[in-house]
Structure 1
Amino acid sequence: MQRIIKNGQVIDETWHLLAKDATLDGVPNCDDIIVPLALWRDHAHALKARDGGLGVWLDSDEEIEEIADQLEYFQVIALNFPAFTDGRHSSTAYLLRQRYGYKGEVRAIGDVLRDQLFALKRCGFDAFALRADKDPYDAIKAFEDYSEVYQASSDQPLPLFRRRTA
């Protein structure tokens, strides 16, 4: 079983991430699933009627604006990083938290490495499914790499100079 980092702890994964080419055939009604955006587009009505938890995942070339008015249906929004160097979804997580006020889980999936975790958390991610060959117990130490941050972000809305004068 895969382990993920969620809210600063390593936990067992309970959600089923469906592949990009998945269909609804054979998917149990009560399982918690994270579906690709294309499957949501084609079967939103059937997915909303399920008993299990529902999440959606977006590839790096898919925009959150496409489902911004449907966020209440998703307990998890997973954002795929196809390569370590592709950081487009950092902005997506920030938009989810700041512009759209999304309170559910925002999960980083794909080529996610320890070096990204501290910055991704600042953008609004609260869960991380690391690359399969990486140890989540080692990666969780990334949150201790810095004791203070200067810039404002999703996890700290005030910059350091404002916090110091308050």
Structure 2
Amino acid sequence: MSKLIINREIVDNRWTRVVANEQGEVSLPSEGAVLVPYQYWLANRDALSNREVAVCFAPTDEPESLPVDANVFPMIACEFPAFTDGRGFSIGRLLRVRYGFKGELRAVGDVFKDTLNYLARCGFNAFEVRADKDINEAIKGIDDFTEFYQSSVDVPSPLYLRRPVAA
């Protein structure tokens, strides 16, 4: 079983992530919790209603198209196909701030130490670290920075509002 970081702890990954093949087909395991592509869930949500299911947003998916309350999912993942593709940051922030998602928000794909702090600031609380990176080293990246000028999901007030007023 693979490991991931959830709420600053390294734990076993109980979800089976399924991806579409080149023909767009998805092969689901017969049992267990599954993480499916968002577009697959949209097309097959009635058939998936009897399973524990979570969705994975691709960078091209729009959270605005979610036809149900985001909180029906125990977990939502966002795909980061490359370090240079930051659309998942925006999707994560939208899910937390605009759509009020309270569950596990997971970053998957090209996720490593240098990105964890920024992901956490956008509301992510779970991270599937790249297989070629040491998860024990990566977890330290969540606290790479201790003070921020800008507001964020995790610290909603900007620095100038957090500073004590001079006497």
- TM-score when scaled to structure 2? 0.90
Q: How does 1:96-135 map to 2 (within 5 A)?
A: 96-135=95-134
Point out the structure with the larger helix share: 1
- 1:41, distance to aligned residue in structure 2 (A): 1.6
The reply to whether residue 10 of structure 1 matches residue 10 of structure 2 is: yes
Question: Could you tell me whether the CA contact under 8 Å between 1:48 and 1:73 is conserved in 2?
Answer: no
Match among 3, 9, 27 for residue 30 of structure 2: 27
Q: Which amino acid aligns with 2:11?
A: I
Q: Call closer, same or farther: CA 1:93–1:128 in 2, change over 3 Å.
A: same
Q: How does 1:83-162 map to 2 (within 5 A)?
A: 83-162=82-161
Deviation digits for residues 119-157 of structure 1, max 9, x if unmatched?
A: 010001110001111111000111221122221100011
The 2-side partners of 1:107 and 1:42 are apart by: 22
- 1:91, distance to aligned residue in structure 2 (A): 0.7
- 1:60, distance to aligned residue in structure 2 (A): 1.1
SS of the residue aligned with 2:121?
helix
**Identical columns (%):** 42
Q: How does 1:48-87 map to 2 (within 5 A)?
A: 48-50=49-51, 53-67=52-66, 69-87=68-86
Q: In structure 1, what is the equivalent of residue 43 of structure 2?
A: 42
- TM-score when scaled to structure 1? 0.90
- 1:24, distance to aligned residue in structure 2 (A): 5.6
The 1-side partners of 2:115 and 2:28 are apart by: 35
The 1-side partners of 2:106 and 2:18 are apart by: 14
Please provide the CA RMSD for this pair: 1.6
The runs of at least 4 aligned residues of structure 1 exceeding 6 Å deviation read: none
Question: Could you tell me whether the CA contact under 8 Å between 2:6 and 2:125 is conserved in 1?
Answer: yes
Q: Call closer, same or farther: CA 1:68–1:141 in 2, change over 3 Å.
A: farther
Question: Could you tell me whether the CA contact under 8 Å between 1:54 and 1:73 is conserved in 2?
Answer: no
Q: Which amino acid aligns with 1:37?
A: Y
The 1-side partners of 2:85 and 2:28 are apart by: 32
SS of the residue aligned with 1:48?
coil
Aligned length, in residue pairs: 162
